Amino acid sequence: MIQTTKLGGTAADVVVAKVAHGLMTMTMRGNVPDEQAFESIKSGVDSLPPGVKMMLNSGEYSLALTVHLTLTLCRPTADFYGEGHGIGNLELLARFYDKYPEYADRTFLSVKVETIFKTSVERSITALRGTKKIDLFQPARLMREFTVEDHVRYLSAMIKEGKFDHLGFSEVGAASLRRGHAVYPISVAEIEISPMSYEEETKKVIAVAAELDIAINAYSPLGHGLTTGNIKTVEDLNIWRSRRRLTLHRQNFEHNQILVAALVAMAGKKGCTPAQLSIAWVGSLGDKIIPLPGSSRKERTLENLGATKVDMTTEDMAEIASILEKHPVRGHRYFGESVDVRLWG
């Protein structure tokens, strides 16, 4: 039986699968054929019992945030979620809902966009062409020029205008999450959680979200693919450059592979895939923590959902805690030890 949970804030009555579906890979590195993408989405939704929605995470970007050690600027670069333009992911979804309109009510659409909110929201709505209303909107990062409270007041006004229904945050720190929620209920906070990324700030966000009954979307639960055990050498990282963030030096990679090997061995003992073990571990960190792996293939979507059937016992959680303690991750999520973009805003 696939596990389910409820979201938080104004979406507290929405029941979703305990694993969400990230759509980024469908358009980020070259467009996946529509039928392949559609089957990937449908397979997950079709696996759910009546009344349970699949949370889809899409996005629209025309800016990529570049972090300098001085935390200075954003600069224009290539699009994140769409090859050639930032609405490609949403345009794909519009085609999906055109072909399968009955799936609009069976999915909960979270849209993550750049920080020019009004422009981004309008562009996202236009890209969807009325096929599906945005259920939840979340800025990709908080802008340092404005307070958290200003962000929430501005965005909640757009909810009252009927632009979207619920509010989320992405890459938000614990203090900012608490401050924002005090102005308007935050339904979902999206942060990175995996065996490769489980820092003290992450734990603080988890604690605040649990206290305030806010759901968490845990993106990259596979450590950008590192915990699948399929990446054997540093050279394998060339296919997805951001994976180098945790492996800036060859010695870091070799050290981190010891941790990965321990997780792969544990998955073998439990009779699940290493990917399922990582996803199940992330989901077991809290009742409303929803792992958010990406998938562009039906078989991968079903494998990810299968993680909700992996029984993580107290002993299992203790074993993984021991592995992480014995083999602490070397390297950093982004570009330097002193930088955590969740602190923006």
Report how far residue 212's alpha carbon sits from residue 76's, in angstroms, rounded to the nearest whole number. Answer: 35
Report how far residue 268's alpha carbon sits from residue 281's, in angstroms, rounded to the nearest whole number. Answer: 15
CB 338 within 8 A of CB 69: yes
With 0-12 / 13-18 / 19 or more C-beta atoms within 10 angstroms meaning exposed / middle / buried, residue 200 is exposed
Q: Which residues pair with 318 in a beta bridge?
A: none
As given in the structure block, the two tokens for residue 337 are: 């030890």
Query: Nearest 5°: phi and psi at 239?
Result: -75, -15
Task: For 61-102, list the strands marked E by DSSP.
Answer: none
DSSP, res 228: G
Q: Which residues of 27-66 are buried (b: 16+ CB within 10 A; e: fewer)?
A: bbeebbeeeebbbbbbbbbebbeeebbbbbbbbbbbbebe
Would you state the pLDDT for residue 204?
A: 96
The single-letter code of the amino acid at 265 is: A
Beta-carbon contacts of 115 under 8 Å, excluding residues fewer than 6 positions away, are: 63, 74, 139, 140, 141, 142, 143
Query: Of 336, 331, 327, 334, nearest to 247 (Cα)?
Result: 331
Would you state the pLDDT for residue 145?
A: 82
Query: Of 209, 232, 233, nearest to 286 (Cα)?
Result: 209
Report how far residue 293's alpha carbon sits from residue 276's, in angstroms, rounded to the nearest whole number. Answer: 10
As given in the structure block, the two tokens for residue 60 are: 């629209």
**Token pair 């900012």: residue:** 176
**Token pair 């990810």: residue:** 304
Would you state the pLDDT for residue 1?
A: 84
The domain segmentation of the chain, as residue ranges, is 4-223+289-310
Distance, CA of 82 to chain centre? 16
Integer CA distances (angstroms), 41 to 105, 148, 276, 283, 345, in order:
14, 34, 18, 20, 33
- Report the chain's terminal Cα–Cα distance, integer Å: 40
CATH of domain 4-223+289-310: 3.20.20.100
Report how far residue 324's alpha carbon sits from residue 275's, in angstroms, rounded to the nearest whole number. Answer: 16
Per-residue pLDDT of the chain (345 residues; tens, 9 = 90+): 899 999 999 999 999 999 999 998 898 767 899 999 999 999 999 999 999 999 999 987 543 333 322 232 332 222 345 544 568 999 999 999 999 999 999 999 999 886 667 788 999 999 999 999 999 999 887 777 889 999 999 999 999 999 999 999 999 999 999 999 999 999 999 999 999 999 999 999 999 999 999 999 999 999 988 899 998 877 776 554 455 555 546 678 888 999 999 999 999 999 999 999 999 999 999 999 999 999 999 999 999 999 999 999 999 999 999 999 999 998 766 544 433 444 443
Q: Which residues pair with 4 in a beta bridge?
A: 17
